[in-house]
Structure 1
Amino acid sequence: MDPLPAFFIVIICITIFSTWFRISPFFILIGGAMLFGLLVGMTWDMVMMGIIDGVGKVFSAFGIIILCGAVITKLLQEQNQIEHLISDIKKLIKAPSLIAGFSGYLLSVPITCCITAYIMLHPVLKTLEKDRKKQNILLYLVATGSIVSYALIYPTPVIIPLFSAFSSGMSPVFFNAITIPLSLLLLSGLFIYFRFLYPDKNQVKIRINSVLPESMRDENSETNQKIHWRAWAPFIAIIIAIPVSFFFLNLSHASMVNFIMLIGATTAIVISPSKIRTSGLSQGAKHAGIIIFDICGAGALGYVIVGTGFAMEALEWLGLFIPVIFIPFILAALIETAQGSRVVTAVITGQVLTGSVVLDLLHPVTLILLISAGSCMISYVTDPYFWLIQRTTGDDMKTIVKNYTVPIALVGVGILLVAIVLESIL
């Protein structure tokens, strides 16, 4: 069978199995990789070797990064320092909805995983509202806010492979000078979107101090007015490690992100009490394993797809009907739909486009933004984040689509429009 019809058959099967059986995304995506390979005529050995290759490459690229982020998260949680982070943010931002959106936006970059940022924030942010519906709105804002920064700001696992493939010596500072303002603009758009959907959600003012733990209440005491530096220490260490890795160690982009995450995790371990370290490391490794294997399952499917020539065939087919500027966007959207991971979408799309004529026709910033936009378009049943939100909110599929899939798609459209404008300028 040709790769294109096989691809859509696999998408339908993944959707059905994800919806009906609710089993681990890793096994669903591995099954999808097997089905796709067999449909297009690969032997069992070729399919299994493709799966092994995909899992191995994704694990080697992101294993350290995700493990370090999970360890930082669990050590902070064990010491109730997530509450301190939110308390410090609350000193600048009072509205619960703004606290939720900005918390997800800020933390998903240094933690290098938007899902981990959501997991660490959702128990705390639910205390900011008493009504269940209002609580869920905060969780949707955390999720969507975390994806905005995760899909646009260097260095995240989405941007790193694209930057490495297409930057051609471009400075990360120049790139972030474009994407940080863009991401903040899109985050503002998300606040407007949710206010439009739920116009009464901010009408009932709550006393945040009345629902937070006593340690988080910002009374007029001198102690509670101070910044909780121990809670921020791992993230400060990560920020300091960035110029060190560039200017003193001369690390490549791939080496740098692993290095700075190791520095952040080491800082979190060193400043944690000895009785906290063992449980924090154990729980962090367990949590990281779940995330890593879901991404590895997506990597297996993605690499099998690439190995069959689907992506190149899709690239040639798209080139016959649409302008070149839309090709990276649509190709990324197709791959994202297939396996649900923005990270894997970035890796695979980058590989497919490397060496193609598209690189000669588009500016690197435009190209990265187009792929980022495509990775946001179909956040549905193949997306592990989708099911995490379903478990934590308890909402039905229709509500999750309205509050998660649609706003993230709108973010993708916004990035696409900006990319088109930039291409005419750069």
Structure 2
Amino acid sequence: MLANFPLLLALLAIVSLLICIIYLRIHAFIALILISALTAVFGGVTIDNIVPTMMQGFGSTLASVALLVGLGAMIGKILEVTGGAQVLADSLINRFGISRAPFALGIASLLFGFPIFFDAGLIVMLPVILSVAARFKGSVLLYALPAAGAFAVMHALVPPHPGPVVAADLLGADIGNLLFWGVLVSLPTWYFGSYLFARWIAPRFDVPLPSLFSASHNDASAPNDTHLSESLPPLGQVLSILLLPLLLIFLNTGISTYLVAYSIENKSTLLMVLQTIGQTPIALLITLLICLLLFLPKLGKQKLHDLCNDALAPICAIILVTGAGGMFGGVLRATGIGDALSNALSDTGMPIIVAAFVIAASLRIAQGSATVALTTTAALVAPMLATQAQLSQADLCFIVIAIAGGASVLSHFNDSGFWLVSRLFGMDEKTTLRTWTPMVTLIGLFAFLFAGVLSLVF
């Protein structure tokens, strides 16, 4: 039994996954379930709790991913078939030029990523990314990584996303100050860690366009039935569809941030209704319904029904594999690996900002969840601050950013986001490890570097 050696257990589990998926070519869904079960057995989980532990990790991941992917895929399918995604792609290209199309996608994703979560933002932007990539050929990574990296940066570093908000609350950092410093750090972090990396790595990996929404993406000379009408939707209509979930989610996160900042516990009925409307699944559902109404005269009831049905078939593998990745991460957490790492790293004698980064990075690598790593590290670091000299609000914000940077590094098999990116962009596991994993690691390192430099100056 390896229950008394959780760090060794985690290492053996990850190595076993690598062998099963890359060398034995076992399907990722099967491998993740098998290794999760074995990890639970050797990690000391009682026999009667093995399956419930696995299902808890699987179910909690599906609860946060399945609705978003399903609703987002329907919206994306309609935009792709009606030409809406192509309209926005053409507009971006006309304004920024062909050579700066990846930069334009990244900037748009940074703006979209301010209030919207990583997975939801990526799903909404996916048809636009694919449309731009289809027009210019080449590796899809040149266009996908800057956008995905932008959502990852904003999700990790900038309020009102839950990780930095919770960490700020635990450490006593002011949300307004964290918003300022988070945005300031996120821009160069994205540029160096995501955009420049994407331009360097994309020519080295020829990743073709996935056929997630339509096989027509794979053929720029596809017949004219790609778009069912000769008249493309106006740019304003397309933007309204893409911006609607953004505004609704911003409404929810803005209200939540306001309530936390002013410690308001008794919410009015109106605030609760507005927060519910701004929950990501409801926001996407409202957007889908409006999208259906807008295109009903053009496509008709039956065609819209068929498009929604067609959108769901390709995403089943994405949802199941992502859920299995959440299962693996949940099993690792249940074995106590987080507590083991916390005890080993909490009293290292390192500077507080360095210790915060190292602890968060270790927890992230071991159990997969960036949010768990971020919030757990903040809870561990909070008592350490009591032994420090008086820290300014800026210092507290830099510590939060350092924690967020550590919680972003080395996304791999135990991270559901790894599987989501892998499946959405049609990459195998080895390619994802060699592209997505180093990119998010660079993002985490640059965030920590910029926070450390700023802490020496301010």
Q: TM-score range by the shorter chain?
A: 0.7 to 0.9
Map of 1:204 onto structure 2: none
Q: Is the 8 A contact 1:148 1:186 kept in 2?
A: yes
Amino acid at match of 2:437: T
Amino acid at match of 1:304: V
Q: Is the 8 A contact 1:167 1:365 kept in 2?
A: no
Question: What pairs up with 1:80-119 in 2 under 5 angstroms?
Answer: 80-94=83-97, 95-106=100-111, 110=116, 112-113=118-119, 116=123, 119=126
Amino acid at match of 2:370: T
Q: Is the 8 A contact 1:238 1:263 kept in 2?
A: yes
1:250 counterpart SS class: helix
2:61 counterpart SS class: helix
Q: Is the 8 A contact 1:75 1:276 kept in 2?
A: no
Map of 1:304 onto structure 2: 331
1:379 counterpart SS class: coil
CA distance in 1, matches of 2:309, 2:94: 33
Map of 1:55 onto structure 2: 58
Question: What pairs up with 1:87-236 in 2 under 5 angstroms?
Answer: 87-94=90-97, 95-106=100-111, 110=116, 112-113=118-119, 116=123, 119-130=126-137, 132=138, 136-154=141-159, 159-164=161-166, 166-167=168-169, 175-189=178-192, 190-193=194-197, 228-236=235-243
Q: Is the 8 A contact 1:329 1:370 kept in 2?
A: yes
Cα 1:197–1:264 change in 2 (3 A) is: closer
2:346 counterpart SS class: helix
Which of 361, 369, 376 aligns to 1:352? It is: 376
CA distance in 2, matches of 1:350, 1:257: 27
Aligned-pair distance for 1:44? 2.5
Tell me the C-alpha RMSD between the 2 structures: 4.2
Give the TM-score normalised by structure 1: 0.74
Q: Is the 8 A contact 2:7 2:337 kept in 1?
A: yes
Q: Is the 8 A contact 1:118 1:143 kept in 2?
A: no
The C-alpha deviation readout for 1:373-414, integer Å capped at 9, x for no partner, is 22432134553256448845x8x95x7666543333221111
Q: Is the 8 A contact 1:107 1:117 kept in 2?
A: no
Cα 1:425–1:212 change in 2 (3 A) is: farther
Aligned-pair distance for 1:152? 3.3
Question: What pairs up with 1:225-304 in 2 under 5 angstroms?
Answer: 228-242=235-249, 244-245=251-252, 246=255, 249-251=270-272, 259-272=279-292, 273=296, 274-286=301-313, 289-304=316-331
Map of 1:416 onto structure 2: 448
Map of 1:28 onto structure 2: 31
Larger mean CA deviation between 407-416 and 310-319 belongs to 407-416
Q: Is the 8 A contact 1:381 1:387 kept in 2?
A: no
Cα 1:411–1:194 change in 2 (3 A) is: same
Cα 1:408–1:166 change in 2 (3 A) is: same
Cα 1:279–1:232 change in 2 (3 A) is: farther
Aligned-pair distance for 1:31? 2.7
How many pairs were matched up? 395
Aligned-pair distance for 1:365? 4.0
Aligned-pair distance for 1:300? 2.4
Aligned-pair distance for 1:415? 0.8
Cα 1:100–1:373 change in 2 (3 A) is: same
Which of 322, 332, 353 aligns to 1:325? It is: 353
Cα 1:404–1:41 change in 2 (3 A) is: closer
The C-alpha deviation readout for 1:263-307, integer Å capped at 9, x for no partner, is 343133223223454234434555665444444323322332222
Which of 52, 70, 73 aligns to 1:70? It is: 73
CA distance in 1, matches of 2:318, 2:273: 25
CA distance in 1, matches of 2:277, 2:397: 20
Cα 1:213–1:419 change in 2 (3 A) is: farther
Larger mean CA deviation between 359-368 and 68-77 belongs to 359-368
Q: Which runs of 5+ in 2 are unaligned?
A: 204-219, 225-230, 259-267, 386-390
Q: Which runs of 5+ in 1 are unaligned?
A: 200-210, 216-222
CA distance in 2, matches of 1:257, 1:187: 30
Cα 1:80–1:108 change in 2 (3 A) is: farther
